[in-house]
Amino acid sequence: MLILNKTAGVFSKPPKRKVYEFLRSFNIYPGTLFLHKLVLGIETSCDDTAAAVVDETGNVLGEAMHSQTEVHLKTGGIIPPVAQQLHRENIQRIVQEALSVSRISPSELSAIATTIKPGLALSLGVGLTFSLQLVDQLKKPFIPIHHMEAHALTIRLTNNVEFPFLVLLISGGHCLLALVRGVSDFLLLGKSLDIAPGDMLDKVARRLSLIRHPECSTMSGGKAIEHLAKQGNRFHFDIKPPMQRAKNCDFSFSGLQHAIDKTIMQKEKEEGIEKGQILCSAADIAAAVQHTTACHLAKRTHRAILFCKQRNLLPQSNAVLVVSGGVASNLYIRKALEIVTNATQCTLLCPPPRLCTDNGIMIAWNGIERLRAGLGILHNVEGIRYEPKCPLGVDISKEVGEAAIKVPRLKMKI
């Protein structure tokens, strides 16, 4: 299969730029004189086909993305073979678009970085197969990327953040707390024992039939919950945060989901409506579930900060907490986390929303970080496989639980 057709015009160079491009082929930039690394990043781990070209100073030269959200909203969740087919249909166009927007020739790339773990097997396979063909065609080094590592390091593209820092990654597919000590040096402090918060919010939104709500029909579940919660009163429902007795940094969201399912069923009976119709109390339920989710995330994060400070893993003051992933765009949850960082003299940082969700930029940037650190750059890709499941870093969550740190109560006045 032909991947890049250099004669098709997309990558042909306009004559007036010839001298400039010639100089750049020697890494010489008119007006400046420094070495520039350029990485193409490719992301297909879930339901977004994304690509970007980023340079070593964090400049995004080009970016393109095809989101499958609308298709999956209609089917009520991601159907892996459908996601795979959509990735196949779009990957070449998306990579070509990112490259042509960046106005570089593929020969100028220093490396190609692609998410190979963790994620949906069928989706990861499309990105990896495509990338390996490209690597072979262009004779470039390959940098395999861990999707969660990329989420965690994104903040270093937008902010001047030094290691170590704490990261909370919350999305539809992930939920973890980790200490980031270096580009590829992570301590896993806690993770969800069942589903991720975004998955739970998506399920609750589906159960509330928010797709039929005129204000929410095009929103993801989590966004719809946040939107509706603004109109609701969380005090109408008392939903307890999960795992209150477990003094660790793990999370759980499926119990919460079932508790809300029961509440919805009861309310349907009370309001005399059928499953599939929208409850009068939907906004109150959304407000309650959002609040409970925020409190649960805040409590575990608070414990992680205290643990890291107790073990001198983080500085005593001005430590950084980074929150990323699709759920991090929720402003209510951010405020809850801000209460925690204020109480612990930490700084809360979130990448901008478009970099919180899956994107190609974070993969390209992770490639740059790895190039600079000289870590995991492959010149021979033989035997490289994708890994649907792959933990991040060294798991010390048991040790965190054994420390059994009691977390002082904070008023969650949001």
**Binding at 324: pick from ligand KG4, Zn ion, none (beta carbon under 5-8 Å per type):** none
Q: Which residues does 172 contact at the CB level (< 8 Å), separation at least 6?
A: 46, 196, 198, 199, 202, 220, 222, 326, 327
- Binding stretches for ligand KG4 (CB under 6 A): 46, 171-173, 198-199, 201-202, 220-223, 226, 325-327, 329-330, 357-358
| Residue type for position 201 | L
Q: How far is the CB of 338 from ligand KG4 (least distance, A)?
A: 15
**Binding at 172: pick from ligand KG4, Zn ion, none (beta carbon under 5-8 Å per type):** ligand KG4
- Among 332, 328, 234, 320, smallest CA distance to 285 is for 234
Q: Rank residues 190 and 221 by Cβ distance to ligand KG4 and give the closer one.
A: 221
Q: How far is the CB of 325 from ligand KG4 (least distance, A)?
A: 5
Q: How far is the CB of 388 from ligand KG4 (least distance, A)?
A: 14
Residues 165-204 that bind Zn ion (CB under 5 A): 171
Size, binding site for Zn ion by CB under 5 A: 2
Q: Rank residues 285 and 400 by Cβ distance to ligand KG4 and give the closer one.
A: 285
Angle between helices 221-229 and 282-310 (to 10 degrees): 110
Q: Rank residues 164 and 222 by Cβ distance to ligand KG4 and give the closer one.
A: 222
Residues 339-368 that bind Zn ion (CB under 5 A): 358
Q: Output the CA torsion sign for 75, 218, 155, 106.
A: positive
Asked if 191 and 251 touch (Cβ cutoff 8 Å), the reply is: yes
How many angstroms separate the CA atoms of 304 and 151, rounded?
19
Over its C-alpha atoms, the chain yields an Rg (Å, rounded) of: 23
How many angstroms separate the CA atoms of 230 and 211, rounded?
17
Q: Rank residues 176 and 400 by Cβ distance to ligand KG4 and give the closer one.
A: 176
Strand pairing report for 185-191 and 175-182: antiparallel
**Binding at 329: pick from Zn ion, ligand KG4, none (beta carbon under 5-8 Å per type):** ligand KG4
- Among 326, 338, 308, 403, smallest CA distance to 362 is for 326
**Binding at 283: pick from ligand KG4, Zn ion, none (beta carbon under 5-8 Å per type):** none
Q: Rank residues 326 and 367 by Cβ distance to ligand KG4 and give the closer one.
A: 326
**Binding at 359: pick from ligand KG4, Zn ion, none (beta carbon under 5-8 Å per type):** none
User: Where on the chain is the footprint of Zn ion (CB under 5 A)?
Assistant: 171, 358
